[in-house]
Homo-oligomer: A and B are copies of this chain.
Amino acid sequence: MTAEPAPARSGESARGAELFGLVEQLVPINRSWTGAGVRATLALLGRRLPLEVHEVPTGTRAFDWEVPREWNVREAWIEGPDGVRIVDVAEHNLHLVGYSIPVSERLSLQELDEHLHSLPDRPGDIPYRTSYFGETWGFCLAHELRERLPEGEYTVRIDATLADGFLTYGELFLPGETAEEILFTTHVCHPSMANDNASGLAVATVLAETLGTRRRRYGYRFLFTPGTIGSLVWLSRNEERLGRIRAGVVLACLGDPGALTWKRSRRGDTLADRVFERLLADRGGDFSIRDFTPYGYDERQFCSPGLDLPVGRLTRTPNGEYPEYHTSADDLTLVRPEALADSLAALLAFVDVLERDRTFVNLSPKGEPQLGRRGLYSATGGAPRQEGFELALLWVLNQSDGQHSLLDIAARSGLAFSTVADAADALTDVGLLAEERG
Protein backbone atom coordinates (compact mmCIF):
# COMPACT_ATOMS: atom_id res chain seq x y z
CA MET A 1 0.00 0.00 0.00
CA THR A 2 3.01 2.28 0.09
CA ALA A 3 3.43 2.33 -3.70
CA GLU A 4 2.16 5.34 -5.56
CA PRO A 5 0.06 5.13 -8.72
CA ALA A 6 1.54 6.39 -12.00
CA PRO A 7 1.64 10.20 -12.15
CA ALA A 8 -1.67 11.84 -13.03
CA ARG A 9 -2.32 12.57 -16.70
CA SER A 10 -4.24 15.62 -17.89
CA GLY A 11 -7.97 15.40 -17.42
CA GLU A 12 -7.55 12.78 -14.74
CA SER A 13 -8.29 15.07 -11.83
CA ALA A 14 -11.76 15.85 -13.21
CA ARG A 15 -12.27 12.14 -13.83
CA GLY A 16 -11.10 11.41 -10.31
CA ALA A 17 -13.62 13.79 -8.80
CA GLU A 18 -16.42 12.33 -10.93
CA LEU A 19 -15.53 8.76 -9.93
CA PHE A 20 -15.22 9.69 -6.28
CA GLY A 21 -18.64 11.32 -6.38
CA LEU A 22 -20.11 8.10 -7.71
CA VAL A 23 -18.40 6.10 -4.96
CA GLU A 24 -19.91 8.46 -2.38
CA GLN A 25 -23.38 7.75 -3.75
CA LEU A 26 -22.81 3.97 -3.81
CA VAL A 27 -21.33 3.45 -0.35
CA PRO A 28 -24.48 3.88 1.79
CA ILE A 29 -26.52 1.25 -0.05
CA ASN A 30 -27.07 -2.05 1.80
CA ARG A 31 -26.14 -4.52 -0.93
CA SER A 32 -26.26 -8.30 -0.57
CA TRP A 33 -26.62 -11.28 -2.90
CA THR A 34 -30.23 -10.33 -3.55
CA GLY A 35 -32.84 -7.81 -2.62
CA ALA A 36 -33.50 -4.11 -2.51
CA GLY A 37 -29.85 -3.03 -2.19
CA VAL A 38 -28.85 -4.61 -5.48
CA ARG A 39 -31.85 -3.05 -7.21
CA ALA A 40 -31.07 0.38 -5.74
CA THR A 41 -27.47 0.10 -6.90
CA LEU A 42 -28.43 -0.83 -10.44
CA ALA A 43 -31.01 1.94 -10.51
CA LEU A 44 -28.32 4.45 -9.55
CA LEU A 45 -25.95 3.21 -12.27
CA GLY A 46 -28.90 3.03 -14.66
CA ARG A 47 -29.18 6.81 -14.55
CA ARG A 48 -25.89 6.91 -16.47
CA LEU A 49 -25.98 3.70 -18.50
CA PRO A 50 -28.71 1.94 -20.52
CA LEU A 51 -28.40 -1.08 -18.20
CA GLU A 52 -30.52 -4.12 -18.82
CA VAL A 53 -31.67 -5.40 -15.40
CA HIS A 54 -32.35 -9.14 -15.14
CA GLU A 55 -34.52 -10.73 -12.43
CA VAL A 56 -33.94 -14.48 -12.02
CA PRO A 57 -36.39 -16.45 -9.81
CA THR A 58 -35.39 -18.28 -6.65
CA GLY A 59 -34.66 -21.92 -7.41
CA THR A 60 -33.33 -21.37 -10.95
CA ARG A 61 -30.45 -23.76 -11.62
CA ALA A 62 -27.00 -22.36 -12.34
CA PHE A 63 -24.64 -25.30 -12.91
CA ASP A 64 -24.12 -26.89 -9.46
CA TRP A 65 -25.98 -24.09 -7.69
CA GLU A 66 -29.44 -22.64 -7.56
CA VAL A 67 -30.68 -19.11 -7.02
CA PRO A 68 -31.26 -18.67 -3.27
CA ARG A 69 -34.19 -17.02 -1.59
CA GLU A 70 -34.30 -13.24 -1.72
CA TRP A 71 -33.24 -11.43 1.46
CA ASN A 72 -34.55 -8.05 2.60
CA VAL A 73 -34.08 -6.30 5.91
CA ARG A 74 -36.28 -3.65 7.45
CA GLU A 75 -34.63 -3.26 10.83
CA ALA A 76 -32.06 -5.10 12.95
CA TRP A 77 -30.73 -4.14 16.34
CA ILE A 78 -29.64 -5.29 19.79
CA GLU A 79 -30.79 -3.55 22.95
CA GLY A 80 -28.74 -3.86 26.14
CA PRO A 81 -29.99 -4.66 29.65
CA ASP A 82 -30.60 -0.94 30.13
CA GLY A 83 -32.82 -0.76 27.05
CA VAL A 84 -30.28 1.26 25.02
CA ARG A 85 -29.51 0.08 21.49
CA ILE A 86 -25.93 -1.22 21.27
CA VAL A 87 -25.83 -1.93 17.53
CA ASP A 88 -28.28 -1.01 14.83
CA VAL A 89 -28.11 -1.76 11.12
CA ALA A 90 -29.56 1.69 10.59
CA GLU A 91 -26.24 3.07 11.80
CA HIS A 92 -23.97 0.80 9.75
CA ASN A 93 -24.99 -1.89 7.29
CA LEU A 94 -22.07 -4.10 8.35
CA HIS A 95 -23.59 -4.59 11.80
CA LEU A 96 -25.87 -7.32 10.48
CA VAL A 97 -24.46 -10.63 9.19
CA GLY A 98 -25.65 -10.97 5.59
CA TYR A 99 -28.60 -13.33 5.08
CA SER A 100 -29.43 -13.42 8.83
CA ILE A 101 -32.78 -15.06 9.50
CA PRO A 102 -35.57 -13.14 11.31
CA VAL A 103 -35.21 -13.04 15.09
CA SER A 104 -37.12 -11.52 17.97
CA GLU A 105 -35.72 -12.79 21.25
CA ARG A 106 -34.45 -11.98 24.69
CA LEU A 107 -31.26 -13.70 25.70
CA SER A 108 -28.37 -13.60 28.14
CA LEU A 109 -24.96 -12.13 27.25
CA GLN A 110 -23.54 -15.64 26.94
CA GLU A 111 -26.29 -16.72 24.54
CA LEU A 112 -25.89 -13.50 22.55
CA ASP A 113 -22.14 -13.82 22.36
CA GLU A 114 -22.37 -16.90 20.16
CA HIS A 115 -23.94 -14.66 17.51
CA LEU A 116 -21.39 -11.84 17.65
CA HIS A 117 -18.39 -11.23 15.34
CA SER A 118 -15.56 -8.80 16.04
CA LEU A 119 -11.88 -8.31 15.27
CA PRO A 120 -9.50 -8.44 18.27
CA ASP A 121 -6.69 -7.14 16.02
CA ARG A 122 -8.70 -4.14 14.83
CA PRO A 123 -10.76 -3.37 17.93
CA GLY A 124 -12.37 -0.20 16.55
CA ASP A 125 -13.67 -1.67 13.26
CA ILE A 126 -16.79 -3.63 12.37
CA PRO A 127 -16.08 -6.79 10.32
CA TYR A 128 -18.04 -7.87 7.23
CA ARG A 129 -19.60 -11.32 7.53
CA THR A 130 -22.22 -13.29 5.62
CA SER A 131 -24.01 -16.58 6.14
CA TYR A 132 -25.75 -17.29 2.84
CA PHE A 133 -26.43 -20.91 3.63
CA GLY A 134 -26.10 -21.10 7.41
CA GLU A 135 -29.78 -20.46 8.29
CA THR A 136 -28.52 -18.50 11.25
CA TRP A 137 -28.22 -14.90 12.39
CA GLY A 138 -25.50 -12.69 13.76
CA PHE A 139 -24.25 -9.20 14.42
CA CYS A 140 -20.84 -7.64 13.78
CA LEU A 141 -19.43 -4.97 16.02
CA ALA A 142 -16.25 -3.26 17.18
CA HIS A 143 -14.27 -5.54 19.47
CA GLU A 144 -13.76 -2.76 22.02
CA LEU A 145 -17.52 -2.38 22.30
CA ARG A 146 -18.03 -6.13 22.61
CA GLU A 147 -15.55 -6.32 25.46
CA ARG A 148 -17.48 -3.74 27.45
CA LEU A 149 -20.90 -5.44 27.18
CA PRO A 150 -22.33 -5.95 30.70
CA GLU A 151 -24.00 -9.11 31.94
CA GLY A 152 -27.78 -9.03 31.72
CA GLU A 153 -30.65 -9.68 29.41
CA TYR A 154 -30.46 -8.45 25.81
CA THR A 155 -33.21 -7.91 23.28
CA VAL A 156 -32.44 -8.85 19.68
CA ARG A 157 -34.63 -7.99 16.74
CA ILE A 158 -34.06 -8.76 13.08
CA ASP A 159 -37.03 -7.85 10.94
CA ALA A 160 -35.97 -9.53 7.70
CA THR A 161 -37.54 -11.67 5.03
CA LEU A 162 -35.82 -14.62 3.43
CA ALA A 163 -38.33 -15.82 0.89
CA ASP A 164 -38.81 -16.84 -2.71
CA GLY A 165 -38.08 -13.90 -4.94
CA PHE A 166 -35.36 -13.00 -7.42
CA LEU A 167 -31.67 -12.57 -7.97
CA THR A 168 -31.02 -9.27 -9.73
CA TYR A 169 -28.11 -8.38 -12.02
CA GLY A 170 -27.29 -5.69 -14.56
CA GLU A 171 -25.84 -6.09 -18.04
CA LEU A 172 -24.80 -3.70 -20.81
CA PHE A 173 -23.57 -4.66 -24.24
CA LEU A 174 -21.91 -2.17 -26.58
CA PRO A 175 -21.75 -3.85 -30.00
CA GLY A 176 -18.58 -3.65 -32.10
CA GLU A 177 -17.63 -4.11 -35.74
CA THR A 178 -16.77 -7.76 -35.13
CA ALA A 179 -18.62 -10.51 -33.27
CA GLU A 180 -15.81 -10.81 -30.73
CA GLU A 181 -16.39 -9.46 -27.25
CA ILE A 182 -14.42 -7.98 -24.40
CA LEU A 183 -15.91 -8.63 -20.97
CA PHE A 184 -15.74 -6.42 -17.88
CA THR A 185 -17.40 -7.71 -14.76
CA THR A 186 -17.69 -6.49 -11.19
CA HIS A 187 -19.60 -7.70 -8.15
CA VAL A 188 -22.56 -5.79 -6.80
CA CYS A 189 -23.10 -7.52 -3.46
CA HIS A 190 -20.86 -5.87 -0.84
CA PRO A 191 -22.59 -3.40 1.45
CA SER A 192 -21.20 -0.03 2.42
CA MET A 193 -17.53 -0.61 1.68
CA ALA A 194 -15.85 2.00 -0.52
CA ASN A 195 -12.98 0.11 -2.07
CA ASP A 196 -14.68 -3.28 -2.07
CA ASN A 197 -16.84 -2.76 -3.97
CA ALA A 198 -18.08 0.77 -4.71
CA SER A 199 -14.79 1.57 -6.48
CA GLY A 200 -15.22 -1.24 -9.01
CA LEU A 201 -18.83 -0.25 -9.69
CA ALA A 202 -17.85 3.38 -10.28
CA VAL A 203 -14.90 2.63 -12.56
CA ALA A 204 -16.87 0.09 -14.59
CA THR A 205 -19.70 2.57 -15.02
CA VAL A 206 -17.55 5.46 -16.29
CA LEU A 207 -15.57 3.06 -18.49
CA ALA A 208 -18.80 1.88 -20.10
CA GLU A 209 -20.00 5.46 -20.54
CA THR A 210 -16.73 6.41 -22.23
CA LEU A 211 -16.67 3.42 -24.58
CA GLY A 212 -20.31 4.00 -25.48
CA THR A 213 -19.39 7.04 -27.53
CA ARG A 214 -16.43 5.50 -29.36
CA ARG A 215 -16.05 3.56 -32.54
CA ARG A 216 -15.46 -0.04 -31.46
CA ARG A 217 -13.81 -2.92 -33.26
CA TYR A 218 -14.81 -5.29 -30.47
CA GLY A 219 -18.11 -5.52 -28.64
CA TYR A 220 -17.85 -4.65 -24.94
CA ARG A 221 -19.99 -6.39 -22.35
CA PHE A 222 -20.33 -5.08 -18.79
CA LEU A 223 -21.71 -7.22 -15.99
CA PHE A 224 -22.80 -6.03 -12.55
CA THR A 225 -23.62 -9.24 -10.71
CA PRO A 226 -23.73 -10.53 -7.15
CA GLY A 227 -20.44 -12.35 -6.46
CA THR A 228 -20.21 -16.08 -7.20
CA ILE A 229 -23.94 -16.81 -7.62
CA GLY A 230 -24.50 -13.89 -10.01
CA SER A 231 -21.60 -14.87 -12.25
CA LEU A 232 -22.73 -18.49 -12.20
CA VAL A 233 -26.23 -17.42 -13.21
CA TRP A 234 -24.92 -15.27 -16.06
CA LEU A 235 -22.48 -17.95 -17.24
CA SER A 236 -25.10 -20.69 -17.21
CA ARG A 237 -27.60 -18.53 -19.12
CA ASN A 238 -25.01 -17.48 -21.73
CA GLU A 239 -23.00 -20.62 -22.26
CA GLU A 240 -23.40 -20.66 -26.03
CA ARG A 241 -22.01 -17.12 -26.26
CA LEU A 242 -18.89 -17.61 -24.18
CA GLY A 243 -16.78 -18.51 -27.21
CA ARG A 244 -17.03 -14.91 -28.38
CA ILE A 245 -15.08 -13.59 -25.41
CA ARG A 246 -11.60 -12.64 -26.58
CA ALA A 247 -10.51 -11.06 -23.31
CA GLY A 248 -12.04 -10.24 -19.97
CA VAL A 249 -11.30 -8.41 -16.77
CA VAL A 250 -12.78 -8.85 -13.32
CA LEU A 251 -12.79 -5.41 -11.70
CA ALA A 252 -12.45 -4.88 -7.95
CA CYS A 253 -10.67 -2.73 -5.35
CA LEU A 254 -9.77 0.05 -7.78
CA GLY A 255 -9.71 3.05 -5.45
CA ASP A 256 -7.04 2.44 -2.81
CA PRO A 257 -3.64 4.11 -3.11
CA GLY A 258 -1.74 0.88 -3.83
CA ALA A 259 -0.19 0.08 -7.20
CA LEU A 260 -2.21 -1.68 -9.89
CA THR A 261 -2.12 -5.48 -9.77
CA TRP A 262 -2.89 -7.72 -12.70
CA LYS A 263 -3.81 -11.28 -11.79
CA ARG A 264 -3.33 -13.55 -14.74
CA SER A 265 -6.01 -15.77 -16.18
CA ARG A 266 -5.86 -19.52 -15.55
CA ARG A 267 -4.16 -20.00 -18.93
CA GLY A 268 -1.72 -17.21 -18.09
CA ASP A 269 -0.95 -16.04 -21.62
CA THR A 270 -4.27 -14.90 -23.01
CA LEU A 271 -4.68 -11.61 -24.85
CA ALA A 272 -5.65 -9.74 -21.68
CA ASP A 273 -2.58 -11.10 -19.90
CA ARG A 274 -0.25 -9.99 -22.65
CA VAL A 275 -1.84 -6.57 -22.98
CA PHE A 276 -1.70 -5.81 -19.26
CA GLU A 277 1.89 -6.98 -18.94
CA ARG A 278 2.87 -4.57 -21.69
CA LEU A 279 0.75 -1.58 -20.77
CA LEU A 280 1.53 -1.60 -17.06
CA ALA A 281 5.22 -1.47 -18.00
CA ASP A 282 4.56 1.22 -20.63
CA ARG A 283 2.73 3.45 -18.15
CA GLY A 284 5.67 3.69 -15.74
CA GLY A 285 5.30 3.66 -11.96
CA ASP A 286 4.88 0.62 -9.75
CA PHE A 287 2.67 -2.31 -10.62
CA SER A 288 2.59 -6.02 -10.03
CA ILE A 289 1.66 -9.10 -12.02
CA ARG A 290 0.53 -12.26 -10.30
CA ASP A 291 -0.19 -15.77 -11.36
CA PHE A 292 -3.67 -17.16 -11.29
CA THR A 293 -4.98 -18.74 -8.10
CA PRO A 294 -8.48 -20.21 -7.73
CA TYR A 295 -9.25 -17.81 -4.91
CA GLY A 296 -10.34 -14.16 -5.01
CA TYR A 297 -13.27 -12.66 -6.91
CA ASP A 298 -15.28 -14.05 -9.81
CA GLU A 299 -12.21 -15.07 -11.83
CA ARG A 300 -12.80 -18.26 -9.81
CA GLN A 301 -15.94 -18.89 -11.86
CA PHE A 302 -14.78 -17.55 -15.24
CA CYS A 303 -11.58 -19.61 -14.96
CA SER A 304 -13.17 -22.85 -13.74
CA PRO A 305 -11.83 -25.77 -15.78
CA GLY A 306 -15.01 -26.42 -17.73
CA LEU A 307 -15.16 -22.79 -18.91
CA ASP A 308 -11.50 -21.65 -18.77
CA LEU A 309 -12.25 -18.22 -20.20
CA PRO A 310 -9.50 -15.73 -21.11
CA VAL A 311 -10.32 -13.56 -18.10
CA GLY A 312 -7.92 -12.04 -15.58
CA ARG A 313 -8.42 -9.55 -12.80
CA LEU A 314 -7.45 -5.94 -12.20
CA THR A 315 -7.26 -4.53 -8.69
CA ARG A 316 -5.04 -2.08 -6.96
CA THR A 317 -4.11 -3.77 -3.63
CA PRO A 318 -5.64 -7.25 -3.87
CA ASN A 319 -8.38 -8.57 -1.58
CA GLY A 320 -7.14 -9.45 1.86
CA GLU A 321 -3.86 -7.57 1.51
CA TYR A 322 -4.87 -4.17 2.85
CA PRO A 323 -5.65 -4.00 6.55
CA GLU A 324 -9.04 -2.32 6.07
CA TYR A 325 -10.26 -5.16 3.80
CA HIS A 326 -13.78 -6.37 4.68
CA THR A 327 -14.18 -4.01 7.60
CA SER A 328 -15.89 -0.72 8.25
CA ALA A 329 -12.48 0.95 7.77
CA ASP A 330 -12.88 0.34 4.03
CA ASP A 331 -14.57 3.72 3.83
CA LEU A 332 -14.29 6.96 1.86
CA THR A 333 -10.94 7.80 3.47
CA LEU A 334 -9.35 4.73 1.90
CA VAL A 335 -10.44 5.56 -1.64
CA ARG A 336 -8.62 8.35 -3.54
CA PRO A 337 -9.89 10.26 -6.56
CA GLU A 338 -6.48 10.01 -8.26
CA ALA A 339 -6.35 6.24 -7.73
CA LEU A 340 -9.82 5.82 -9.22
CA ALA A 341 -8.78 7.95 -12.20
CA ASP A 342 -5.56 5.99 -12.64
CA SER A 343 -7.50 2.71 -12.64
CA LEU A 344 -9.87 4.05 -15.28
CA ALA A 345 -6.94 5.33 -17.36
CA ALA A 346 -5.30 1.89 -17.26
CA LEU A 347 -8.53 0.28 -18.46
CA LEU A 348 -8.87 2.82 -21.26
CA ALA A 349 -5.26 2.07 -22.25
CA PHE A 350 -6.17 -1.63 -22.24
CA VAL A 351 -9.00 -0.92 -24.65
CA ASP A 352 -6.69 1.21 -26.81
CA VAL A 353 -4.23 -1.64 -27.16
CA LEU A 354 -6.98 -4.14 -27.94
CA GLU A 355 -8.47 -1.85 -30.55
CA ARG A 356 -5.13 -1.05 -32.21
CA ASP A 357 -3.37 -4.40 -31.98
CA ARG A 358 -3.09 -6.14 -35.33
CA THR A 359 -0.71 -8.37 -37.23
CA PHE A 360 0.83 -6.92 -40.35
CA VAL A 361 2.90 -8.07 -43.30
CA ASN A 362 5.86 -6.07 -44.56
CA LEU A 363 5.23 -5.61 -48.28
CA SER A 364 8.91 -4.92 -49.00
CA PRO A 365 10.42 -7.64 -46.83
CA LYS A 366 13.78 -8.19 -48.56
CA GLY A 367 16.23 -5.76 -47.04
CA GLU A 368 14.95 -2.56 -45.51
CA PRO A 369 12.72 -0.45 -47.72
CA GLN A 370 14.05 3.03 -48.45
CA LEU A 371 12.28 5.09 -45.81
CA GLY A 372 14.06 8.32 -46.74
CA ARG A 373 12.34 8.78 -50.10
CA ARG A 374 8.99 8.16 -48.38
CA GLY A 375 9.65 10.97 -45.91
CA LEU A 376 9.92 8.65 -42.92
CA TYR A 377 13.64 8.93 -42.23
CA SER A 378 15.93 11.88 -41.56
CA ALA A 379 18.04 12.80 -44.58
CA THR A 380 21.37 13.27 -42.80
CA GLY A 381 23.17 10.07 -41.82
CA GLY A 382 25.96 9.28 -39.41
CA ALA A 383 24.42 10.57 -36.16
CA PRO A 384 24.96 7.91 -33.56
CA ARG A 385 21.57 6.84 -32.22
CA GLN A 386 18.19 5.98 -33.56
CA GLU A 387 15.46 6.78 -31.08
CA GLY A 388 11.76 6.32 -30.61
CA PHE A 389 9.68 6.59 -33.72
CA GLU A 390 12.37 5.79 -36.31
CA LEU A 391 13.41 2.77 -34.29
CA ALA A 392 9.76 1.69 -34.09
CA LEU A 393 9.54 1.89 -37.91
CA LEU A 394 12.51 -0.48 -38.17
CA TRP A 395 11.08 -2.89 -35.59
CA VAL A 396 7.66 -3.00 -37.23
CA LEU A 397 9.21 -3.66 -40.63
CA ASN A 398 11.55 -6.27 -39.25
CA GLN A 399 8.96 -8.23 -37.30
CA SER A 400 5.96 -7.91 -39.60
CA ASP A 401 6.20 -11.33 -41.18
CA GLY A 402 2.60 -12.23 -40.44
CA GLN A 403 3.62 -14.00 -37.23
CA HIS A 404 4.01 -11.10 -34.82
CA SER A 405 1.31 -8.69 -33.70
CA LEU A 406 2.06 -5.10 -32.74
CA LEU A 407 1.81 -6.22 -29.14
CA ASP A 408 4.47 -8.87 -29.76
CA ILE A 409 6.65 -6.24 -31.40
CA ALA A 410 6.25 -3.87 -28.47
CA ALA A 411 7.19 -6.69 -26.10
CA ARG A 412 10.28 -7.72 -28.08
CA SER A 413 11.52 -4.19 -28.76
CA GLY A 414 10.74 -2.76 -25.35
CA LEU A 415 9.13 0.24 -27.09
CA ALA A 416 5.78 1.60 -25.93
CA PHE A 417 2.83 -0.01 -27.69
CA SER A 418 1.54 3.37 -28.84
CA THR A 419 4.85 4.21 -30.53
CA VAL A 420 4.82 0.87 -32.30
CA ALA A 421 1.20 1.31 -33.37
CA ASP A 422 1.91 4.84 -34.63
CA ALA A 423 4.81 3.48 -36.67
CA ALA A 424 2.57 0.80 -38.14
CA ASP A 425 0.04 3.45 -39.13
CA ALA A 426 2.73 5.51 -40.84
CA LEU A 427 4.07 2.48 -42.72
CA THR A 428 0.56 1.49 -43.77
CA ASP A 429 -0.03 5.02 -45.08
CA VAL A 430 2.99 4.79 -47.43
CA GLY A 431 2.04 1.32 -48.61
CA LEU A 432 4.81 -0.62 -46.92
CA LEU A 433 2.54 -2.57 -44.59
CA ALA A 434 -0.72 -4.47 -44.96
CA GLU A 435 -2.82 -6.16 -42.34
CA GLU A 436 -2.50 -9.93 -42.25
CA ARG A 437 -5.86 -11.50 -43.02
CA GLY A 438 -5.54 -14.91 -41.46
Residues in A lying within 8 Å of B, measured CB to CB: 62-65, 97-98, 117, 127-134, 136, 138, 228, 231-232, 235-236, 239, 266, 293-295, 300-301, 303-308, 319-320, 325-326, 362, 364-370, 372-373, 379-386, 391, 394-395, 397-401, 413
Across the interface, name the chain B residue whose C-beta is closest to A398: B294
Structural contact, A131 and B401, CB atoms closer than 8 A: no
Pick from B305, B326, B364: contact of A398, CB under 8 Å: B305
Q: Name 8 extra pairs, CB < 8 A, besides A129-B382, A131-B381.
A: A127-B383, A131-B379, A133-B372, A133-B379, A295-B386, A304-B366, A306-B366, A307-B366
Q: List 9 A-B contacts (CB under 8 A).
A: A63-B366, A64-B369, A117-B380, A130-B380, A294-B391, A301-B368, A303-B398, A304-B368, A306-B401
Q: How far, in whole Å, are A136 and B138 apart by their CA atoms in the complex? A: 86
Structural contact, B381 and A129, CB atoms closer than 8 A: yes
Structural contact, B401 and A305, CB atoms closer than 8 A: yes
Structural contact, A305 and B65, CB atoms closer than 8 A: no
Across the interface, name the chain B residue whose C-beta is closest to A65: B370
Residues of B within 8 A of A305 (CB): 362, 365, 397-401
Known: A129-B382, A305-B397, A383-B129. A236 touches B366 (CB 8 A): yes
Q: How far, in whole Å, are A413 and B383 apart by their CA atoms in the complex? A: 44
Q: How far, in whole Å, are A320 and B381 apart by their CA atoms in the complex? A: 13
Q: How far, in whole Å, are A129 and B98 apart by their CA atoms in the complex? A: 75
Structural contact, A64 and B364, CB atoms closer than 8 A: yes
Residues of B within 8 A of A381 (CB): 98, 129-132
Across the interface, name the chain B residue whose C-beta is closest to A190: B382
Q: Please give the distance in Å from A406's CB to the nearest CB on chain B.
A: 15
Pick from B266, B325, B373, B394: contact of A300, CB under 8 Å: B394
Structural contact, B294 and A394, CB atoms closer than 8 A: yes
Q: Please give the distance in Å from A196's CB to the nearest CB on chain B.
A: 10
Residues of B within 8 A of A130 (CB): 380-382
Structural contact, A134 and B386, CB atoms closer than 8 A: no
Q: Please give the distance in Å from A121's CB to the nearest CB on chain B.
A: 11
Structural contact, B228 and A391, CB atoms closer than 8 A: no
Q: How far, in whole Å, are A121 and B357 apart by their CA atoms in the complex? A: 40
Residues of B within 8 A of A63 (CB): 364, 366-367, 369
Q: How far, in whole Å, are A395 and B239 apart by their CA atoms in the complex? A: 23
Structural contact, B303 and A382, CB atoms closer than 8 A: no
Across the interface, name the chain B residue whose C-beta is closest to A138: B380
Residues of B within 8 A of A132 (CB): 372, 381
Structural contact, B384 and A325, CB atoms closer than 8 A: yes
> What are the nearest 8 A-B pairs in CB distance?
A306-B365, A294-B398, A306-B366, A320-B384, A134-B379, A305-B401, A294-B394, A64-B369
Q: How far, in whole Å, are A131 and B381 apart by their CA atoms in the complex? A: 6
